[in-house]
Structure 1
Amino acid sequence: MLVLGLDTATPAVTVAVHDGERVLAESTVVDARRHGELLAPAVRAVLLEAGVALGDVDAIVAGTGPGPYTGLRVGLMTAQALAATSGVPVYGVCSLDALAYGSGLDEPFLVLTDARRKEVFWARYADRRTRVEGPSVDSPDGVPGDLPVIGAGGRMYASVLGQGRVREPGAEYPTGAALAALAAERLAAGEEIGGVLTEARPIYLRRPDARVPGPPKKVTA
């Protein structure tokens, strides 16, 4: 089974191809302002490195966030466009789940990513495969428990969370490799839509910053 995984829910633009047993190729570039510019070339490069065509892929999986509105939409719309072009099914995986899976931890812990506005997106896990709470958005001091913390959000607010809670090893952002590996595992177990895999729809935990402009102000009496 060939799975193409991609995620743009964080500053990382990340893509990978997984064959059900191992990662064949992957690319990750951290640049919060160039998701739209970087993603399509990364998909082409990863497919070329893996020696496969888009039509060879059995499933496309996209990180569904939570994340900032614009970057998150780039990945999801790209995944849906690729699926429509190739006739390949497309699935969604919570981006925090991918980050948790990539940690390799088999003990309770929290995943935190940057939500901007001095807040974090977070979820609680019993182990790297099992989310038991969240995703949610809160201020760093509103994150529950004394569990170990992974992810960029933990490092950003280590002074609030407590230095001893933040795990230094591991990725700050979800990777395409972890996303594709997790999806391949779930697909092999028959956990498609209605099970653990979801539709490729964004997880929005608050409204976007952009607003429809109001009527112009009157400048005459």
Structure 2
Amino acid sequence: MKMLALDTSGDTCSVAVVEGQELLVEINFRHNRQLTERLPGIVTFALEQAGTTLEELDAFAVGLGPGSFTGVRVGVTMAKTWAEVLGKRVIGVSSLDALARTVSGAGIAVVAVVPSRKDEVIAAFYKPDRPNPIAEPDVMPTSEVIAKAVEALGEPRLLVLGECAHWISPSPLAVIRAASPRAFQVARLGQARLRVHGPDDPATLAPLYIAPPPIRTKPGAEAPA
């Protein structure tokens, strides 16, 4: 099965083409607030490097977030549109699951984080080398993430992953590492989900939003209650 996978949930985005278990090409790039303009060209380049076309693909896999509201929406909309227009299958997966999977086999509990509001992150906790979190992702203060993870996981050492991992209060119990979801891992998760659950309905597939977007107000103005 030939698949195009993408994740646009963070500042660094990822596009990959896979065939079966083989990674044909993966491109990771910072979108610099130009995702809508840059993504189609990068997908075209990735397909050219893989020696294939959109029409020759069997399925699309896309990271649903949580993450950047605009970024996730762009990626999900593109994947759904391609699937509907070309009559292909589409599968959505958690971007946090894809992030945690980047260290699969490391034998350490993982805390995957993405930014939320000021001094808060959305976090998911993973037992060593397990593909699914022990509970649904949740919003929590950066100062409480390590304590909550240690209590929930019961593990003596943690690996904190994410573009905002440096927001987390340091602890001797945790290694902090900057990282982003990889499209290859989105593809692997999508393949597994496709085998077990089948494809998603493009008409109802939606981004995974855990928290509302931050409200930006003009200086001196009050935010609505």
With the length of structure 2 as denominator, give the TM-score of the two structures.
0.81
What corresponds to 1:216 in structure 2?
none
Instruction: Show the counterpart of 2:138.
Output: 136
Gap regions ≥5 residues in structure 1 = 212-221
Cα separation, 2, equivalents of 1:153 and 1:134 = 20
Residue 214 of structure 1 corresponds to none
Question: What's the C-alpha RMSD, in Å, of the aligned pairs?
Answer: 2.2
Paired amino acid for 1:145: A
CA–CA separation in structure 2 for the residues paired with 1:76 and 1:108: 29
How far apart in 2 are the matches of 1:202 and 1:52?
A: 27
Distance 1:136 1:161 in 2: 20
CA distance in structure 2 between the aligned counterparts of 1:200 and 1:30, rounded to whole angstroms: 25
C-alpha distance in 2 between matches for 1:155 and 1:184: 28
Tell me which residue corresponds to 1:66. Answer: 66
The aligned counterpart of 2:221 is: none
In the superposition, the TM-score normalised over structure 1's length comes to: 0.82
Identity of aligned residues (%): 31
CA distance in 1: counterparts of 2:88 and 2:74, whole angstroms: 19
Q: 1:30 to 1:163 in 2, by over 3 A?
A: farther
CA distance in 2, matches of 1:154, 1:44: 29
Structure 2 stretches lacking a partner, 5+ long: 151-156, 217-225
Q: Is the 8 A contact 1:3 1:183 kept in 2?
A: no
1:162 aligned residue: 171
Q: How far is 1:32 from its partner?
A: 4.6
The one-letter amino acid paired with 1:204 is: Y
Asked if 2 retains the 8 angstrom alpha-carbon contact of 1:62 and 1:76, the reply is yes
Preserved contact between residue 16 and residue 25 of structure 2 (Cα < 8 Å): yes
Inter-partner Cα distance in structure 1 for 2:27 and 2:159: 25
Match of 1:43 in 2: 43
